[in-house]
Structure 1
Amino acid sequence: MIYQHPLAYLLALEGLALLRGWAGDVDRSYVEDRLAEVRRLLADETLGGLDGVEVARGTAARGYQQWADHYDDPGNGLFELDESVLLPLLAELPAGDALDAACGTGRLTRHLAARHRVVGVDSSPDMLRRAAARLPGVDLRLGELDRLPVADDAVDLVASTLALSHVGDLAAVMAEFARVLRPGGDLLVSDVHHELVLRGSVVHALGPDGEPGLVPTYRHTPGDFLRAALPAGFRVLACEEPRPARAEEGTVAPATEPGGWHDWPWSLMAMVPEASRIAWDVPSVVVWHFRLDR
């Protein structure tokens, strides 16, 4: 079981902000403000008296089943960030046969279908249902990333967006991408940045009665991607790490209550907005362009 305590998260944000100060990103007054806030948090009897929450390790299937009907709702800033890099890359590639691996509700499939003969694969029937409603007539298949229901050498392009953080074995998935790609084919990957996962950006996967649970999520560093991709025959053409603009100081109104577990970590961040502003000033996604050399 995972154990999450609101005070632990608040202190962790302060610590990350203080580390940025140690590296020279902020000035003395900011550091002193953080130290004063740490003392205040530790002295807060309400926070200290709260119970933590035991959180189960859920499954990706359950998490995305629960999220499917709201996945495309406005407000997911990761879509805008990865598309700012992915769509220009797609525009430079010739038309052909494409695979959207972990296509979800068809967010990127729609763009691929405008220029390519496209197949979409996802492990969630609920996400595929949404994709089918959005893209009638597109070939959508149920399947896993490490066992794609696609023939060898079948496509010129594989795209996979915001999915590989749920994969423990990147090497197996990269080998599968190489299997379905034709020689010289392109692989475009976006993923949640490992720094964002560290800060608690993890999909919820509630238990049968709404018990707290999280989708398994891995912090894949750039080195992890390279160690998986290079042996499979890929070479790197591009790697980008887009981040949102840093909020201006004093623009977020502080909250006084931690909220319930279902709102964590976002409600907790609002309790220490200045620490959060600096601690969360990291890339949100990583985007790779690989080419298969074989």
Structure 2
Amino acid sequence: MTDPTLGELMVGVEGLALLRLLHADAAEARAARLAETRDVLDRPDRGSPLGTEVDVDEGYVQWSRSYDGPLRLFAVEGAAVRPRIDPWPAGTVLDAACGTGRWSEYLAGRGHTVVGVDRSPAMLALARPKIPDGRFLEGRLDALPLDDASVDAAVCALAMVHLADLGQAFAELARVVRPGGRVVVSDVHPFLVTLGWQAQFAGRNGRAFIRLHPHLLSDYATAALEAGLQVRGVAEPVLTREAAATPTATLIPEANEAAYVGLPAVVVWELARP
């Protein structure tokens, strides 16, 4: 398969921007999008590769160097997650797919005993020094290396989108959380993934990306309910100008903003184990 090009992305962003402006009182803006699309097609760099796909394991080895950047969705996602975990009483909390320990560090700061699990040794190596009293284990979301009912609550942030199937991951979260415990799951919003968003980062040899799997909101809800979890709430915070940091943000900034700002950025699920 030929890697996607920067020009293809720019044309797509112009088209999305035009669609969102189609029925607005914005004739000049629509004309600008059409004119800029013509210019994009004539750009000498439009055939530049957008990025090379790498698999999850190799991708996180490379991405670990810059993961604490922070990433473009962190601010939007964090503002929606914190109010849902702040009321939790101090206890043992699982940070599933903990990465470099972003939420582990926050949870430890609120008095929790943290158990972090991630499939990437490179990410875990960066997480451990941040929380010296934490327990960090290598493992997968669909096969958590924990005993049944061994934690009081769990967080899983921006990770389920790497899985082709959600069912086993939700079943594992339900298995390891004690009865009466809470689970918060955040993820890249399916709308963005359907539009072609991938996990983009600066790789070893230039732009790179890890492919994301599109799941409908109903897929998350079904997987949670089938695992025996109760849905207590859901939020869909939208993309801000800062969060819409795509490869086209500096190349065609007006189109990039018109295309993306205001679209749902992440989905945050608040769940309970009866």
Separation in 2 of the partners of 1:34 and 1:167? Answer: 36
- Asked if the contact 1:120/1:139 (under 8 Å) is kept, the reply is yes
SS in 1 for 2:230: strand
Give the aligned partner of residue 224 of structure 2: 229
Normalising by structure 2, what TM-score? 0.88
- Asked if the contact 1:103/1:122 (under 8 Å) is kept, the reply is yes
Separation in 2 of the partners of 1:112 and 1:136? Answer: 13
Give the aligned partner of residue 20 of structure 2: 20
The one of 122, 125, 145 aligned to 1:126 = 122
Segment of structure 1 superposing worse, 183-192 or 88-97: 88-97
Query: Do the aligned partners of residues 212 and 272 (structure 1) sit closer, same or farther apart at CA in structure 2, a change above 3 Å counting?
Result: closer
Root-mean-square deviation (CA, aligned residues, Å) is 2.4
List runs of 5+ in structure 2 lacking aligned partners: none
- What is the number of residues matched between the two proteins? 269
Separation in 1 of the partners of 2:269 and 2:222? Answer: 14
After TM superposition, list the pairs within 5 Å mapping 1:6-45 onto structure 2: 6-22=6-22, 24-25=23-24, 27-42=26-41, 44=42
Query: Do the aligned partners of residues 229 and 40 (structure 1) sit closer, same or farther apart at CA in structure 2, a change above 3 Å counting?
Result: same
State the shift of 1:125 in Å. 0.8
Give the aligned partner of residue 259 of structure 2: 279
SS in 2 for 1:92: coil
Query: Do the aligned partners of residues 57 and 272 (structure 1) sit closer, same or farther apart at CA in structure 2, a change above 3 Å counting?
Result: closer
Paired letter, 1:46: P
Q: Select the structure of larger CA radius of gyration.
A: 1
Give the aligned partner of residue 290 of structure 1: 271
The one of 145, 151, 173 aligned to 1:177 = 173
Query: Do the aligned partners of residues 185 and 26 (structure 1) sit closer, same or farther apart at CA in structure 2, a change above 3 Å counting?
Result: farther
Query: Do the aligned partners of residues 221 and 151 (structure 1) sit closer, same or farther apart at CA in structure 2, a change above 3 Å counting?
Result: same
Give the aligned partner of residue 213 of structure 2: 218
List runs of 5+ in structure 1 lacking aligned partners: 248-263
- Asked if the contact 2:200/2:207 (under 8 Å) is kept, the reply is no
**Is the counterpart of residue 168 in structure 1 residue 168 in structure 2?**
no
The one of 241, 245, 253 aligned to 2:240 = 245
Separation in 2 of the partners of 1:205 and 1:290? Answer: 34
The one of 190, 199, 211 aligned to 1:202 = 199
Separation in 1 of the partners of 2:147 and 2:101? Answer: 21
Give the aligned partner of residue 3 of structure 2: 3
- Asked if the contact 1:100/1:160 (under 8 Å) is kept, the reply is yes
State the shift of 1:168 in Å. 1.1
Separation in 2 of the partners of 1:270 and 1:136? Answer: 40
Give the aligned partner of residue 44 of structure 2: 46
Give the aligned partner of residue 145 of structure 1: 141
State the shift of 1:283 in Å. 2.4
Once the two structures are superposed, residues 192-221 of structure 1 have per-residue CA deviations (whole angstroms, 9 ceiling, x without a partner) of 2233333534234857xx386532311223
Separation in 1 of the partners of 2:12 and 2:214? Answer: 17
State the shift of 1:233 in Å. 1.2
Query: Do the aligned partners of residues 221 and 127 (structure 1) sit closer, same or farther apart at CA in structure 2, a change above 3 Å counting?
Result: same
